[in-house]
Amino acid sequence: MADSDEPEKKRSRVVEQTEKMVVDGGYGGTCEWQGRWNHVKKLLERAGPFTHPDFEPSTESLQFLLETCKILVIGAGGLGCELLKGLAFSGFCNIHVVDMDIIDVSNLNRQFLFRTKDVGRPKADVAADFINSRIPGCRVVPHFKKIQDLDEIFYKQFHIIVCGLDSVVARRWMNGMLLSLLVYKDGVLDPGSIIPLIDGGTEGFKGNARVILPGMSACIDCTLELYPPQINFPMCTIASMPRLPEHCIEYVRVLLWPKVRPFGDSVVLDGDDPEHIQWVHQRSLERAAEFNITGVTYRLTQGVVKRIIPAVASTNAVIAAACATEVFKIASSAFIPLNNYMVFNDVDGLYTYTFEAERKENCSACSQVPLDLFFSSSSKLQKVLDYLIESASLQMKSPAITTTIDGKNKTLYLQSVASIEQRTRPNLSKTLKELGLTEGQELAVADITTPQTMLFRLCFTS
């Protein structure tokens, strides 16, 4: 009857092995099991052809990732979900995530930490709950907030910050925050004050990942010219020389709709109203026929009117993986980080290219020197304001300009508070001379693109 013992033994062996795989409970809260981090150890506990020249294999790097290293993920959307998953699986156990959005049903196809039942709840909270319950030992702390609502004391606590944002303004603000944390001693940057910023971005089938060492390598604002202004076509093209189906749709949206007002005087074009889109679609077809342009469809019409760039899950996955890898490389010091900008494109086949974005000597964000503004003393303040908004290297949104005249602070123009806007609006049509501004005058400009006030020096050209 010895044979009858066999199944029993087998069963107990299976139970034993299964118990080893139980992820929480039964292991005194350490949540570790045999071989759990083998995939990470292979990278940290032996040298290889791609390891950093100064790399010395050790078990300490892994302990640092698991216990000490503190990562901040900005954004819990398409990139954010991928980032949290990638970081948690790479051994990072101390992660905070900031996101101000709530979950919409349209997010569910790619933001895989969310389910139908979560619609309407904050992305940060749900993403953190999901990771924390799925990956034992990982502690994700959610912040259902705007990045602007957290202060420097908060940001200072992190070793590395990784951004998965869809807004250039938010990126620039984060960049400005990290630059403001830099400490200079006798003009020399204290490396201890640098918090590396890993930034990922995607737009349809295109994406980029970059590594920024604030104060050392090119910052977001150094390469601002790389961000095209929102898809806006030149008015002359729209009005008289359309070449693309989009130009025809823009013509109807920008010029024809306000002229014809097809649904009544006070009705603004609503991208979610099928009747509106239908009207724009028909008129765009007529316009396109006039210029022998093909390709105007209902879908494209809605896309252009609503400024939709479809989110592509695979692009997000690739870019987030690249960013998580860079976090791992920097945190472990085991590999040389990306230097410093990788572009990715999978529109047609697969293409990547890496280059070193260079620091801009007179970058308004990281150069530490007040920028010169060249204007004639007879220029109106409006012209200065337009320049701050339209200049490709500044691209401000709603700049507030103040200065000091005869030792007194004077607000020249401020848009964000209605009463002050009203009071300072007349200044816009005054000349710089009439406002009492002189050669070399310092102008302090505040804008939502940065937490810091920027200093400019006025230089008169005549």
Are 152 and 177 within 8 A, CB to CB? Answer: yes
Cβ proximity to Zn ion: between 176 and 242 the closer is 176
Among all chains, which residue has been given the structure tokens 């000091």? 404
Using CB under 5 A as the binding rule, whether residue 304 contacts Zn ion is answered as no
- State the nearest-atom distance from the C-beta of 243 to Zn ion, in Å: 35
Among 65, 63, 114, smallest CA distance to 91 is for 65
Q: What is the DSSP annotation of 188-225?
A: EE-GGG---EEEEEEETTEEEEEEE-TTTS--TGGGGG
Q: Where are the alpha helices (DSSP H) in 45-114?
A: 60-63, 78-89
Which window, 357-365, 396-404, 411-419, 440-448, contacts Zn ion (CB under 5 A)? 357-365
Composition of the chain by helix, strand, coil, percent to 5: 40, 20, 40
Strands 197-203 and 160-164: parallel
335: β partners:
51
Is residue 224 a contact residue for Zn ion (CB under 5 A)?
no
Give the interface segment with Zn ion, choosing from 125-133, 284-292, 303-311, 358-366 (CB under 5 A). 358-366
178 binds Zn ion (CB under 5 A): no
Q: Minimal distance in Å, beta carbon 363 to Zn ion?
A: 3
What is each CA distance from 39 to 12, 20, 88, 157, in whole angstroms? Answer: 28, 18, 13, 28
Is residue 366 involved in binding Zn ion (CB under 5 A)? Answer: yes
| 365 near Zn ion (CB under 5 A) | yes
- Both structure tokens of 244: 């693309």
Least distance from Zn ion to the Cβ atom of residue 367, Å:
6
User: Per CB under 5 A, does 222 bind Zn ion?
Assistant: yes
Question: Which stretch, 103-111, 115-123, 215-223, 284-292, contacts Zn ion (CB under 5 A)?
Answer: 215-223
* Contact region with Zn ion (CB under 5 A), list: 38-46, 208-216, 362-370, 445-453: 362-370
- Of 81, 236, 248, 363, the catalytic one is 236
Kindly state the helix (H) or strand (E) to which residue 199 belongs, with its residue range.
Answer: strand 197-203
Minimum separation from the CB atom of position 223 to Zn ion (A): 8
| Both tokens assigned to 233 | 């076509």
HSE, CB side, 13 Å, CA atoms: give it for residue 326.
28
Q: According to the binding rule CB under 5 A, does residue 179 interact with Zn ion?
A: no
236 flagged as catalytic: yes
Query: Closest distance between Zn ion and the C-beta of residue 179, in Å?
Result: 8
- Report the interface residues with Zn ion, using CB under 5 A: 219, 221-222, 363, 365-366
Catalytic positions, written as ranges: 236
